[in-house]
Amino acid sequence: MAGMTTNRGGTAVRHFTVHHDGVTVPVSRGGRGRPLVLCPGLNSTQADLHELTGLLRRDHDVVTFDLRGHGLAPAADRCSFDVFLGDLVAVLAEPGRLGLAGPPVLVGYSLGADLAVHYASEHPDAVAGLVLIDGANPLPEPFITGGDLAAFRAMAEELATRQEAERARGSARQVSLTAQDIHELNLEIDVVRSEILTRYRKIDRPISMIMSTSIAGDSGEGRAPRHNRLWRTGVERLVRELPRVSASWLDADHRLVFTHAPEIARIIGRLVRC
């Protein structure tokens, strides 16, 4: 690990790298208090989560990082759920070198939430708890059906096109995934979530979920109503089967970490103090 320190809003932030599987994973750490590790989701970066991270660092020692192919992490030959999970494992592999005061609370957004659940199920003594933001939903049926494929493929193509501008600028918000990468990962995440309930059952730490009421938007037409109902059904089933899991709902869509960062920070602060 090599490092440097910057100052953001009066908070010293240390930047360093973790070398893993041929990829250099950029990591940042700043703040003071109970340690948190914030894991971004698919197509999101440390830079995207700057508002939430800054708010959390007022009361917590926060570690963030970029998954391979995202932000300041270089592109990789392979992109899959297990490969991204390896990035999280590498960041947390040596807590002594991170300098954390104790096992962290893992805070994961979207795909990052799924990664956090898998990590905690395999390393139960390495975490103090989980806060899962709009992800890791044990869906009772596939989110993406045959009728959704064309729409999700088009969304992936639109997103990849928008990302080209960030890559051209060399931005910390850039994502190097292709439309095909994004589409295949969305399909894989659907499968992961169909089996994730068994992972939850292996975790004996507190688990809190912060979920959007309208993950697919607030339209009353098209695929949105089914996806929104399915999203709520999955969480309600989880809370019913595992009483140690709690859920908070925000009147938002899947962009809630960007549109409702202050509310999410307040909820996390309350949860972590409990």
Count of alpha carbons within 13 angstroms of residue 150, beta-carbon side: 3
The position carrying tokens 């912060």 is 210
Predicted TM-score (pTM) of the model is 0.94
Question: Alpha helices, DSSP H only, in the chain?
Answer: 50-56, 81-92, 95-98, 111-122, 149-169, 179-194, 197-200, 224-241, 256-259, 261-273
For residues 274 and 272, give the distance between their C-alpha atoms in angstroms, rounded to a whole number. Answer: 5
What does each C-alpha distance from 20 to 90, 195, 272 come to in angstroms? Answer: 6, 27, 30
- What pLDDT is stored for residue 123 in this prediction? 94
> Which residue matches tokens 């910390």?
172
Q: For the chain, give the percent of residues with pLDDT over 70.
A: 95
Hey, what are 168's tokens?
Answer: 């051209």
Lookup result for tokens 């925000």: 250
| 110-161 pLDDT, tens digit each | 999 999 999 999 998 999 999 999 999 999 999 999 989 998 999 889 888 8
pLDDT over 50 (residue 1) = no
> By percentage, how much of the chain surpasses pLDDT 90?
72
Distance of alpha carbon 195 from alpha carbon 19, whole angstroms = 30
CATH level 2 (architecture), domain 3-273: 3-Layer(aba) Sandwich (3.40)
**Average model confidence (pLDDT) across the chain:** 91
* Residue-wise pLDDT tens digits, 202-231: 999 999 999 999 999 888 888 899 999 999
Greatest Cα-to-Cα distance within the chain, rounded to the nearest angstrom:
51
Q: Give residue-wise pLDDT tens across range 153-177.
A: 998 898 888 888 777 777 888 999 9
- Smallest CA-to-CA distance from 129 within 110, 91, 102 is with 102
Over residues 22-45, the mean pLDDT reads 94
Q: Which residues contact 122 (CB under 8 A, 6 or more apart)?
A: none
Within 10 angstroms of residue 85's Cβ, the number of other Cβ atoms is: 20
